Chains A and B, each alone.
Chain A
Amino acid sequence: MKKEDVPQDLSSLGKITKEVCYATDENGKYTTQLSKGWDVKITALDAAWDDIALRVEQARQKVLNNEASPLLFFMEKALMDISILAGYTGFWKWQISRHLKPGVFKVLSDKKLQRYAEVFNVSIADLKNMSVNET
């Protein structure tokens, strides 16, 4: 890529920092050039976030339909899967799979709920009601 072709499409990262790109100068020699972002990357990131929003919404519906416990909603919202959640809570993966069932979730002790609540940064009541405090 030529130095003058390094894209300068302002990204959310570009507002905080410019990125270093390696590109060639007029003599074909490599040098570095700062970039504010690239439309192709920005839209790739947007596509990923649109998908996340969709997954969160689908999870919310599942919880409302009593097909999953509120953990599914918070898990999707935190971009986690069962193994990441297992890492953060210290539960085994099979335990989390169980806790994702509405019936099992309802009878969980406060002590266990607290472990989830801490990871998702909500209160136990919020965890049960699927309410989010956006900060």
Chain B
Amino acid sequence: MKLNYEHFQAAHCENGVTTSLLQNVGVHQITEPLAFGIGAGLFFVYIPLIKINNGPAIAFRTLPGLVFNRTCKALDIPVVRKKFSSKQKAQSYLDQCLADGHPVGCQVGVYYLPYFPKEYRFHFNAHNLIVYGKEGDNYLISDPVMETVTTMTSYELERVRFAKGALAPKGQLYYPKEGRPVTDEQIRRAIKKGIAKNVNNMLHIPGPIAGVDGIKFIAKRIKNWRDKLGLKTAGLYLAQLVRMQEEIGTGGGGFRYIYGAFLQQAHAYLPNDDLLEISNTFTQAGDLWRSAAVQASGIYKGRIGSQEDFNQMSEYLFEIAEIEKQAFTSLSKITWKP
């Protein structure tokens, strides 16, 4: 059985699943940047106490599941999301969804994903993909980071849906319960709401580790990494930062650029020219994140590694924090014409 479904490749998995599932129920206006912006996906958090793959926990985007939930909620699309304790029940529920004609988003672990290259297999459990059919024992899979569709046997799919460890998916699946046409007015409202939420997340979350403050926090720490951790571990931590920032299967997607694209697309609905200017600021932030990554790579490749190089790395992040603070402050000050 194969549902009428068109594969969509995206820069980031959850944006891709959200966009694809919504398009599929008739929300034709939705694009990856709109889903990311309406879902207030941009974020930064550094949790020094938690280790992932022997490196610090750093995230450049909001918690898994929120982009889909927030976007659907903002557009008044009811959502079904389920977790399972039994593998059999998880599979039969999935089969029922397919029989009812719903392509389904699944949260999975990447470690056992058969079509990923070995180098990319880590115990990372917040990857998202769509199951859109079943032929014999093979599930038809649309993974938004891949150019083309793929398949998994029922055993392979079960293994990734029941991956263990942090953020264990527990067979989690989700889909829009029903399709409803969405008006441009609804999109306008959703954009404003998404921006407000993102401003709040980046500027006003209390505590030092999240949002713009979190970028400053890690910037301060990085200065001391060389002395505190030694050059080798400090290099590995920086490699982790880069992987979380850029790499598929961990987070990735150049989120600052996607947010820049979001603001441009938002301008088509809400023609306030400040949006275009702030979009440029995010492009600038994205470029600086990439410069910082190049600096980090110099250190983990062992090409550079003096305290001066760590100070420079730290300076990049302070500069980014300042730029993003300015960008979100400008966003918070926009007065929308009625």
Contact = CB atoms under 8 A, between A and B. Distances in A.
Contacts of B290: 1, 40
B312 interface: no
A85 B117 CA distance: 22
Interface in B119-163: 119-123, 145-148
Contact of A19 (B145, B166, B242, B300): B145
B247 interface: yes
A47 B300 contact: yes
A45 B119 contact: yes
Interface in B258-297: 258, 260-261, 264-265, 279-280, 283, 286-287, 290, 293-294, 296-297
Interface residues of B, number: 53
Interface in B199-216: none
Contact of A15 (B117, B247, B257, B283): B117
Contacts of A45: 119-120, 239, 243, 247
Contact of B258 (A15, A17, A22, A34): A22
Contacts, number: 122
B171 interface: no
A61 interface: no
B11 A41 contact: no
Contacts of A39: 297
A38 B290 CA distance: 11
Interface stretch (A25-33, A96-104, A105-113, A125-133): A25-33
A87 B170 CA distance: 11
Given A24-B283, A44-B240, 16 more contacts: A12-B120, A13-B116, A17-B145, A17-B146, A20-B9, A21-B254, A21-B257, A40-B294, A43-B297, A45-B120, A47-B239, A48-B240, A49-B119, A51-B236, A80-B165, A88-B164
Interface of A: 1, 12-13, 15-24, 28-30, 32, 34, 38-41, 43-45, 47-49, 51, 55, 79-80, 83-84, 86-88
23 contacts: A1-B257, A1-B290, A13-B119, A13-B248, A17-B145, A20-B10, A22-B33, A22-B257, A24-B260, A30-B257, A30-B265, A30-B279, A38-B246, A39-B297, A40-B290, A40-B293, A41-B243, A41-B293, A43-B297, A45-B243, A48-B53, A79-B111, A87-B164
